[in-house]
Amino acid sequence: MLIPRVIPCLLLQNAGLVKTVKFKDPKYLGDPINIVKIFNDKEVDELVFLDITATVEGKHPPFELLEQVASEAFMPVGYGGGIRSLEDVKTILGLGIEKVVINSYAVENPSFISNVANFAGSQSTVVSIDVKKGIFGAYEVRTHRGTKTTGMDPVELAVRMENEGAGELILCSIDRDGTMKGYDIDLISRVAAAVNIPVVACGGSRTVHDLGAVIKQGGASAAGAGSMFVFQGPHRAVLISYPHYDELEQLLEIS
């Protein structure tokens, strides 16, 4: 039986692993290489690393760290943060990272996605879309770690990115990030219904039932999560975990 992917989405800050709440107050979790080794043992489907300071601070991707991650990880790895040129893409893929994840620069320069897809293929071209709900309930795309407004509707951007050649979307609710209050199913379902490429839902998961809900009710192709896999208990003690395959198979049961 094939089951949808369940992907730890991990945040980098100054070569350390952190976790945020609503894109703020990053909490240090540990060394990313050690955490990759733990996820190796737990046989996770895939890993995504997002550097949350690279774009905001105008830095290049952390190539040396990415080389270490790629050499250590047993599973496919995607990376996003600070990617603004085809040279960045070539270097990252050359290190052994399977997918590049582009966020702010996709909004600034949509045709860049076409260039990346033409070079690397759509299967390696992922666009990450961060979304915040306004006080009147309208969704808006944000960039630069959620600090810049765009006035763009996430569905329109998702369709545009698919047309530019993106092979996958990572859709993150800023309002749910790190809250462990469940995914924004309404947001996910709107975008998933509008495109024909996989949508990875992020932001808000607490239990395996949340993973099942976002796939079955929201139409997501895969479920991404951060806090659920790195915190345990009411005091959010750092402890890396990942659901057992049998548990996921029962919940996601899609053949």
Residues forming the active site: 130
Within its chain, how far is the Cα of 18 from the centroid?
14
H-run or E-run covering 116: helix 111-120
Joined together, the tokens standing for residue 132 give: 């915040």
Residues 218, 195 contacting (CB under 8 angstroms): no
Other CB atoms within 10 A of residue 198 CB: 17
Joined together, the tokens standing for residue 77 give: 């790895």
Name residue 12's beta-bridge partners: 17, 51
Closest CA to 205 of 235, 231, 228, 172: 228
Name residue 99's beta-bridge partners: 78
Closest CA to 81 of 9, 173, 180: 9
Residues 238, 230 contacting (CB under 8 angstroms): yes
**Geometric angle at alpha carbon 209, from 29 and 221, rounded to 5°:** 85
- Span between the terminal Cα atoms of the chain, in Å: 5
Please classify residue 196 by burial: count the beta carbons closer than 10 Å to its beta carbon, then call 0-12 exposed, 13-18 middle and 19+ buried.
exposed
